[in-house]
Structure 1
């Protein structure tokens, strides 16, 4: 099996393009699996400054077709041309996929280096893929290993020890712009109730903010404030809250954008306003920053203001990531030998059982026959030890193909590559997370196909 990722992030393209690609593309993984593409599984990682989709395909030859299908489906969901999507997405395969995801999860590819929020987003991406039935075993192992690596970076280095994040840097910028570090007196309005809104509320509480109101265009503000505090707003109370707000923070990325005309129509009596737009698709009209008395902080502002972490910590973190990526890649390559090992063992087992039957037929169930059978089985285990070790050694070096060719030459065996667990049912539709898990739990172990050739 081959790992493939298609990446659009702030590191390579502007955030506007990332936002356009992300729009309505959350279901691409399910749609791709329901198509006739060679994609066996997929996980989507979408954050405030990246859109990435990780896929598993059967063979290297399937990568172009898989990439083309993903691009086609993203174009269909966003309305952008396939050419635009293809140009914006950077393709990575195999080891590059592993190193990139491990770096992302550890916060090394973030706008704020070392930020910890991304680790949670990696975990949520995996959970969502498992719930929707789009994650294969290899992708699950990949994302779980990325999460473990992020924890190792956090515990073994001082990277991110200051607790910096996109939200915290944005709030620091707001403090500087308002020339007032006392958040307890500020009236604040948050737009959105998602993960970023939750992180924002937590950091506001740490800074002593008390007057926080929350608006959700989808009507989820009441449930949000019930567990996190604050005051829920609706259409009838939003205008009054905005009239008295010192800080407004956009975290929703919904279609309901606050326009500059909405602010100018308010009776604010020239009251200064700091608008923090953390939504990739913009909760606030970019023209807000041109209004008198209004300062606009965007994700681009955060990226420009994010401090550099200590060089030593960064080197240590990158070393941990590279070591973890190489270990995972080696384990994946060793798995490629499993089919060959099982095939060889099955072949020798068949030969052994045939000879054992001859001994039993000739000598019956005597002590001598049992002693001969025991000796034959012990000898077979000893004979298989070196070929088994060599299979894993060669696979770790990326030479599993040589081992498989040797089996065909020496024993006349052909080993079929193990087929990835299908995430589609008999009708070609994606199965649910529960169905997928049940199928994985109840299905018997599938051995690779073994056939005699020549």
Structure 2
């Protein structure tokens, strides 16, 4: 069964999320390796959420899996276990799919409809796949979530205004910046978020954009995006009206900020890129994630009812598909076993590969309509009719749902 542990901007402080964002991805393997209860894990850690999606054997494993996750994440991040337990909400079963589909569609973000979350979700899953911590159940879950995200953005206007933390931050900053077209802006960081920041700045008419990287990547990044590379941080800050940080690698301290002129610093990093003490310097105003989040629930950023309806429908369809999947798998096994036997007989009689391929094609055609019909019945709440018909016609009885979820090595769960 599926389990989700979530701590986000609604039920946890940014300081806790800050610490988890650094340690959580690296600790994912500890959730699976050597575990008798956790068959797969994907951890999503962003600037406003920590979430662990787990594939466990059954209801009896919920508490052990939760404790294993709390222990692993506490050990890795230094967060007190009790503090983490208090911040986490535990979802299970069908609620997991609904939550992930809403997260991937931007409905649970600080800025509803923000664009970055779909990419962050994809990268979290890709990392888990590379590290070997996924399972077939999590594969299906995240594939459906990605599909739902695309459908929501295509069918509604939830992402139509380029919503993101960057754009909200710039909207808030507009009350402090007299003329964006004349502003000198320094971007600290050279990742994808920095590229998104530059695009948002140009939409506001900013032409003087500089970039600094503590890892020496500024020259290549500046050539790609047509901005000016800076080599020395303090001097670059001193020559900027607005400083925007979006990197996981560097923290700006009070020693980096010249105090001779008025300056706005926007910290979009998690972990935080700017020491909060910078806000105490004369003529410096700091906008960080906590300040930005206070202003996020603006009317123009609220999701439409259509978007939430699509997510609900997708989650219901996913749950129905999972209910009928064991029966479809059983039917396919029955047909493919018969197909293999028929191919063996045909080859024994001298049949060529054209005949073999024709037999395989016929099997696929025969399976298509029953598979579609099974899912239609499941979405109407009639999955048991398909299962009963399968047994009546072919004598095929599906495996229990708990057994259908595969372990990472492809063998059935015991």
Q: TM-score, normalised by structure 1?
A: 0.73
Residue of structure 2 equivalent to 1:191: 188
Where does residue 360 of structure 2 map in the other structure?
A: none
Measure how far apart 1:132 and its partner are.
2.5
Displacement after TM superposition at 1:421 (Å): 4.1
Q: 1:258 and 2:256 equivalent?
A: no
Are the counterparts in 1 of residues 31 and 69 from structure 2 also a CA contact under 8 Å?
A: yes
**1:259/1:346 Cα in 2 relative to 1: closer, same or farther (>3 Å)?**
closer
> How many angstroms does 1:192 deviate by?
1.9
Query: Equivalences for 1:220-299 in 2 at 5 Å?
Result: 220-234=217-231, 237-254=232-249, 256-263=250-257, 266=258, 269=260, 271-299=261-289
In structure 2, how many angstroms separate the alpha carbons of the residues matched to 1:199 and 1:296? 20
Deviations 1:174-200 (A, max 9, x none): 22112x1333x2222222222322211
The yes-or-no answer on 1:15 pairing with 2:10 is: no
Cα distance in 2, alignment partners of residues 390 and 187 from structure 1: 60
TM-aligned CA deviation for residue 311 of structure 1: 9.8
**Residues 10-409 of structure 1 aligned to structure 2 (within 5 Å):** 10-178=9-177, 180-183=178-181, 185-234=182-231, 237-254=232-249, 256-263=250-257, 266=258, 269=260, 271-306=261-296, 308-309=298-299, 314-338=304-328
| Inter-partner Cα distance in structure 2 for 1:42 and 1:231 | 41
C-alpha deviations, 1:247-279, integer Å up to 9, x for none?
Answer: 11111133x32122432xx3x53x210000111
Whichever of the two has the greater Rg, that structure is: 1
After TM superposition, give the deviation of residue 346 of structure 1 in Å: 10
| Aligned residues of 1:188 and 1:246 also touching (Cα < 8 A) | yes
Change (3 A) 1:82 1:412: same
> Deviation of residue 103 (structure 1)?
0.8
Q: Is the 8 A contact 1:58 1:419 kept in 2?
A: no
Cα distance change, pair 414–229 in 1 and its aligned pair in 2 (3 A): closer
Contact 2:44 2:50 in 1 (8 A): yes
Aligned residues: 382
Task: Name the CA distance, whole Å, in 2 between partners of 1:52 and 1:199.
Answer: 24
Displacement after TM superposition at 1:72 (Å):
1.4
Distance 1:341 1:395 in 2: 19
> What SS does the corresponding residue of 2:10 show, helix, strand or coil?
coil
Q: Distance in 2 between matches of 1:244 and 1:295?
A: 16
8 Å CA contact 1:159–1:314 kept in 2: the answer is yes
CA offsets, 1:402-423, max 9 Å, x none? x79xx8xxx9989575464443
SS in structure 1 of the partner of residue 23 of structure 2: coil
Displacement of 1:153 = 1.8
Matched residue, 1:423: 408
Q: How far apart are the structure 1 equivalents of 2:53 and 2:303?
A: 28
- Alpha-carbon offset, residue 343 of structure 1: 8.4
Residue 313 (structure 1) shift: 5.5
Task: State the Cα deviation string for residues 20-65 of structure 1 (Å, max 9, x = none).
Answer: 2222221222222223242222112121111111111122222222
Specify whether residues 261 and 4 from structure 1 end up closer, same or farther in structure 2 by C-alpha distance, changes over 3 A only. Answer: same
CA contact (8 A) 1:37 1:66 kept: no
Q: Structure 2-normalised TM-score?
A: 0.80
Tell me the secondary structure at the aligned position of residue 190 of structure 1. strand
SS of the equivalent of 1:102 reads: helix
State how far apart, in whole Å, the 2-side matches of 1:107 and 1:282 are.
22
| Conserved 8 A contact 1:336-1:395 | no
SS at match of 2:252: coil
Asked whether the 8 Å contact 2:112–2:301 carries over to 1, the reply is: no
Aligned residue number for residue 5 of structure 1: 4
Could you tell me which runs of 5 or more consecutive residues in structure 2 were left unpaired when the two chains were aligned: 343-368
SS in 2 for 1:24: helix
- Find the aligned partners of 2:233 and 2:375 in 1 and give their Cα distance: 66
Contact 1:57–1:63 at 8 Å: present in 2 too?
Answer: yes
TM-aligned CA distance change 1:65 to 1:398, over 3 Å: farther
CA spacing shift, 1:282–1:333, aligned 2, 3 Å: same
Question: Shift of the alpha carbon at 1:156?
Answer: 1.9
CA RMSD of aligned residues (A): 3.7
